[in-house]
Amino acid sequence: MFKKITQYLSLIKFSHTIFAMPFALIGFLLAVKHEGYFNSTIFFYMILCMVFSRSAAMAFNRYIDRKFDALNPRTKNREVPAGIINPTSALLLTIICAAAFIITTWFINSICFYLSPVALAVILGYSYTKRFTPLCHLILGVGLSLAPIGAYLTVTGKFSLLPILLSFVVFTWSGGFDIIYALPDAEFDKANNLYSIPVWLGIKRALKFSEAVHITTAILLIAVGIRGHFSFLYWLGAVCFIGLLIYQHRLVKPNDLSKVNLAFGTVNGIGSLVFSIFTIADIFICK
């Protein structure tokens, strides 16, 4: 039983929750600070929504991409192409998690419930985008960017500029690092008629594109700090985050992609955690 659970957690890359979850926590706690109260039940529902939506998206991606994953040397050992989890089980997991996500939003508030199909359309639809557009990385960014504004909505039931700006931070940050993640697959994608920015622009120019997107991330972080009237703790976190963005671009070179996984997983995971810790501390200590 434990082995099977581990296999499913690996299927949905549960460890990658570290990318969006910290920003969801920031969005939620910004709303708590604004409203003046903390509702533990709503917090629990928000966490469930994050887990269910992300699990549905990853399981669906593994189901839809199973034929390509089986052909790609980098992905052939994933659970579905390797025969560890059958495609029907992956699709069933998608349906269960998607339904659980919608049901959970029903218990939060009406706007979260009404918008839940839209959120699912974005995060599930991403898996198809590499078949027709090189901007698939930015569609992934849109999906992840729903975390902070969605979490804010669970508390307030209304939109606000600050969490929207934070969502744009996530959009540009994740879109930029997904371009880096796609670099080693450029030749495979091209041979199999799949679209990506590395296929479209070539590896060297794709890295430049990613750098430009991450420069936008840095500008947006500054905008969030100014708009939110944050103090020194936020700015410390923002400097660390921007520094790690610069570091990941120093790790990956057009003629040396050996450190892509380090840049994609480790550096971005640390950046997300450090930034969220400093920002949350600022919200409750300095505001």
Predicted confidence at residue 13, as pLDDT, reads 66
Tally of CB atoms within 10 A around 132: 11
Please state the pTM of the whole predicted model: 0.95
3-state helix, strand, coil split of the chain in percent (to 5) is 80, 0, 20
* DSSP H helical ranges for 183-267: 186-191, 197-201, 203-227, 232-251, 260-261
Nearest one of 112, 213, 218 to 155, comparing CA atoms: 112
Distance between CA 242 and CA 238 in Å, rounded? 6
What the chain holds in terms of domains, given with CATH numbers, is 2-285 (1.10.357.140)
Predicted confidence at residue 9, as pLDDT, reads 59
Distance between CA 53 and CA 124 in Å, rounded? 9
**Could you tell me how many helices (H) and strands (E) the chain has, helices first?**
14, 0
Contact at 8 Å (CB) between 233 and 286? yes
Nearest one of 164, 180, 157, 183 to 227, comparing CA atoms: 164
- Return averaged pLDDT per consecutive 10 residues of the chain, 287 residues in all: 63 68 96 91 96 93 94 90 90 96 98 97 96 96 96 96 97 96 96 97 97 98 96 97 96 93 86 95 84
Burial zone of 199 (CB within 10 Å; 0-12 exposed, 13-18 middle, 19+ buried): buried
What is the tens place of the pLDDT at every residue in 33-51? 988 889 999 999 999 999 9
